[in-house]
Amino acid sequence: MTRRLVECVPNFSEGRRQDVIDAIVAPFRNTPRVHLLDYRADPDHNRLVVSLVGEPGPLQETLLQASRAAVARIDMRRHRGGHPRIGAVDVIPFVPLRHFTMEECVLLARGFARRYADELQIPVYLYESAAVRPEHRSLEQVRKGQFEALVSDGLGSESRAPDVGPSTLHPSAGATAIGARAFLVAFNVNLASGDLDAARSIARAIRTSSGGLPFVKAVGIALEGHGMVQVSINLTDYRVTSIHRAFAAVRDEAALRGIEVAESEIYGLVPAEALIDAARTSLMLAGFDASQVLDLRLLDLAGA
């Protein structure tokens, strides 16, 4: 029995009000063929990141329900937080997981975007592999200037025009980016320092867009109340730039600035392979194969 599974990691612009978080997450619980793997609300980012795995049909239904709950409760005109965002439902990426190709994921994302825009009357940008216009391929580009810029500039310009749905911004819920992409590892390195400029400078040094490591997005942010700054990293292809390579790059750049790493964190889910690669490096393992990992053998057997 091949069960077609898609991962989805919708991000909602609420990381503080527990009742709102609960209302958004509720549809993801106890829905047959949809598994709520994880959800994390970050008060500094004022953002909720949900990790789901499910079959394409039921997954779309629950995403629409959760989005309605978010749109009814979040007003972007009053939203403040440390993470870039354009809407109450900020981004919905579909990730092919099991017995599902990237091409199928692109069709899924585009089809879902039409339903989403119709039912919620929210303009949608199709991004990454689901993009229909090259200028919307990059999520950074889509979110440039964030919700506030969409309000002030409007959606009239060629680069701002949405790909699906209404041609004007939803007054309170803004816009949404819907896409298809490979598995993303969210990895943050906290520095034993309050120097935000240093964190930003380290982020610039390691990220792809300014000539650093490939498939790395990074920003420096302050962790309010922790007396620390953070290099917040998205690894968009951990098979090219691994977690431990990104970690080493931050550690080395920090050392150049006389700053030590305090700790790191993986935000949300991570494929076992990415951690095994890190172990392989730190243990100087030679000739190691993932089929030696007992639990992964079991996963293959369980899926048979």
Bridge-partner residues for 226, per DSSP? none
User: If binding is defined by CB under 8 A, does position 239 make contact with a copy of itself?
Assistant: no
User: If binding is defined by CB under 8 A, does position 302 make contact with a copy of itself?
Assistant: yes
Bridge-partner residues for 53, per DSSP? 7, 35
User: If binding is defined by CB under 8 A, does position 253 make contact with a copy of itself?
Assistant: no
Q: How far is CA 286 from CA 272, 278, 297, in A?
A: 18, 13, 20
**Phi, psi values for residue 87, rounded to 5°:** -160, 170
User: If binding is defined by CB under 8 A, does position 297 make contact with a copy of itself?
Assistant: yes
Among 243, 249, 254, 259, binds a copy of itself (CB under 8 A): 243
Fill in the per-residue mask, 179 to 198: x = in contact with a copy of itself (CB under 8 A), - = not in contact: ----x------x--------
Of 47, 137, 43, give the one whose Cα is nearest residue 87: 47
Segment interacting with a copy of itself, rule: CB under 8 A, options 32-40, 64-72, 82-90, 109-117: 32-40
Q: What is the C-alpha to C-alpha distance for residues 70 and 13, in angstroms, rounded to an integer?
A: 8
> What would you report as the CA-atom Rg of the chain, rounded to the nearest whole angstrom?
20
User: For residues 81-110, which are near a copy of itself according to CB under 8 A?
Assistant: 97-98
Segment interacting with a copy of itself, rule: CB under 8 A, options 15-23, 30-38, 76-84, 196-204: 30-38
Question: Quick one: three-class SS letters along 157-190?
Answer: CCCCCCCECCCCCECCCECEEEEECCCCEEEEEE
- Please, which residue, 163 or 253, has the CB nearer to a copy of itself? 253
> Which strand (E) or helix (H) includes residue 5?
strand 5-8
> Which strand (E) or helix (H) includes residue 203?
helix 196-206
User: If binding is defined by CB under 8 A, does position 31 make contact with a copy of itself?
Assistant: no
- Please, which residue, 133 or 297, has the CB nearer to a copy of itself? 297
Residues marked as catalytic: 83
Among 4, 16, 35, 204, binds a copy of itself (CB under 8 A): 35
Alpha helices in 74-195 (DSSP H): 102-120, 139-142, 146-153
Q: Which residues bind a copy of itself (CB under 8 A)?
A: 5, 7, 35, 37-38, 53, 97-98, 183, 190, 243-244, 247, 261-266, 268-273, 275-276, 278-288, 291-299, 301-303
